């Protein structure tokens, strides 16, 4: 088996480079049959599964407090929820912070896989990392006011301030990071589709994530209804979580099963 170099595919020793004959830069060649196998070998099985662990912790943290008030719920309803669910909200925040550890570990594995495809994979891997960093930062920062009020005790805080913190969390989870969420999935999906380093259907699922986040971004202009604040029934966030979990399992399966080529 021939090893694939980190930043591109090796040329045969006696092969003439087309760019030498034409004077034009050669485009990134498609990965040959089985290249996904060799690229997947750069990722550890346990490291690949950190994505699944991360989204599991995140989903548990979000669901733990129960059914939360929607973006257009009354201020009194929001304040009562934060007061009554203080313990479960704090536990949920702790789980989401734990998820961050696993997700960043997984990002390192995914970045290694995408960049190792060479050609377009290198700049797209950088764009993907930037998208993830912006996404995680926006969500984390938007949670801080709600976390502080919950920790201190919402009963001692004015309902208006509780509502402001709640709205910041809604916007910072859905509408604001929508473009970053698109890049975080679209960039690796392009490489997956072009170089077949993972199953092609992940790219299709990535396109669905992008479409859902377009709807979330549109929700920035709505204060009432399903799209308020970009909530859109949480479909964008759900699809993003499914994509990460599916990519995580696919990477681990490729490593575990001897890295068969994607079909």
> pLDDT tens digit string along 48-70?
999 999 999 999 999 999 989 98
Q: Please provide the average confidence, as pLDDT, over all residues in the chain.
A: 84
CA distance readout (Å), 46 to 128, 255, 258: 21, 9, 14
| Residue 173 token pair | 């989870």
- Stretch 6-26: mean pLDDT: 39
Total number of domains constituting the chain: 1
Angle at 259 between CA 246 and CA 28, to 5 degrees: 85
Contacts of residue 223, defined as CB under 8 A and 6 or more positions apart, other chains included, come to 71, 72, 229
pLDDT at site 171: 94
Q: What is the pLDDT of residue 258?
A: 57
Range of the domain at 199: 39-70+91-135+177-256
pLDDT average, residue stretch 11-36: 42
Q: What is the mean pLDDT of residues 31-52?
A: 68
Q: What is the mean pLDDT of residues 157-185?
A: 95
Could you read off the pLDDT of 174-226 as tens digits, one per residue?
Answer: 999 999 999 999 999 999 999 999 999 999 999 999 999 999 999 889 888 88
* 252 pLDDT above the threshold of 80: yes
**pLDDT of 15 strictly over 60:** no
Q: Residues of the chain with pLDDT > 70: what percent?
A: 81
pLDDT > 90? residue 4: no
Residue 242: count of CB within 10 angstroms of its CB = 14
Residues 6+ apart with CB under 8 A from 132: 103, 104, 107, 180, 184
pLDDT of residue 19 exceeding 80: no
In the predicted model, is pLDDT for residue 11 greater than 60? Answer: no
Is the residue at 60 inside a domain?
yes
**Is the per-residue pLDDT at 8 higher than 70?**
no
pLDDT of residue 39: 52
Tokens of 98: 């734990």
Task: Say if 112 falls within a structural domain.
Answer: yes
Closest CA to 125 of 39, 49, 187: 187
* pLDDT band, residue 27 (cuts 50/70/90): very low
Are 117 and 124 within 8 A, CB to CB?
A: no
Q: Answer yes or no: is pLDDT of 135 > 60.
A: yes
Higher pLDDT, 13 or 192: 192
Count CB neighbours of 226 within 10 A. Answer: 14
Is the pLDDT at 3 greater than 60? The verdict is: no
- Determine the Cα–Cα distance for residues 244 and 246; give it in Å rounded to an integer: 5
Q: Where are the beta strands (DSSP E) in the chain?
A: none
Residue 155 lies in a domain: no
Helix spans in the chain (H): 18-22, 35-40, 45-48, 50-63, 75-84, 86-115, 121-152, 159-173, 178-195, 201-218, 235-256
Task: Read off the DSSP letter of residue 157.
Answer: S
Average pLDDT (123-152) is 95
3-state secondary structure of 106: helix
Whether residue 105 lies inside any domain: the answer is: yes
Predicted confidence at residue 42, as pLDDT, reads 67
């Amino acid at each position: 088996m021939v090893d694939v170099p980190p930043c591109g595919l090796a040329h045969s020793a006696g092969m003439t480079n087309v760019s030498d004959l034409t004077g034009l830069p050669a485009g990134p060649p498609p990965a040959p049959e089985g290249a996904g196998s060799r690229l997947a070998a750069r990722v550890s099985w346990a490291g690949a599964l950190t994505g699944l662990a991360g989204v599991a912790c995140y989903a548990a943290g979000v669901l733990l407090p129960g059914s939360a008030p929607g973006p257009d719920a009354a201020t009194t309803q929001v304040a009562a929820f934060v007061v009554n669910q203080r313990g479960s909200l704090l536990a949920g925040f702790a789980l989401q912070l734990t998820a961050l550890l696993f997700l960043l570990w997984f990002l390192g594995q995914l970045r290694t896989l995408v960049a190792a495809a060479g050609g377009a994979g290198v700049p797209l891997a950088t764009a993907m990392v930037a998208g993830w960093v912006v996404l995680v930062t926006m969500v984390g920062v938007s949670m801080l006011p709600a976390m502080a009020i919950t920790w201190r005790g919402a009963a001692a805080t004015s309902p208006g301030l509780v509502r402001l913190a709640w709205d910041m969390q809604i916007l910072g989870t859905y509408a604001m990071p929508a473009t970053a969420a698109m890049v975080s999935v679209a960039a690796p999906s392009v490489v997956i589709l072009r170089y077949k380093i993972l199953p092609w259907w992940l790219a299709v699922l990535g396109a669905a994530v992008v479409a859902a986040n377009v709807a979330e971004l549109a929700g920035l202009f709505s204060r009432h209804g399903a799209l308020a604040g970009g909530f859109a029934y949480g479909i964008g966030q759900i699809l993003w979580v499914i994509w990460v979990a599916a990519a995580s399992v696919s990477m681990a399966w490729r490593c575990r099963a001897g890295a068969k080529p994607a079909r």
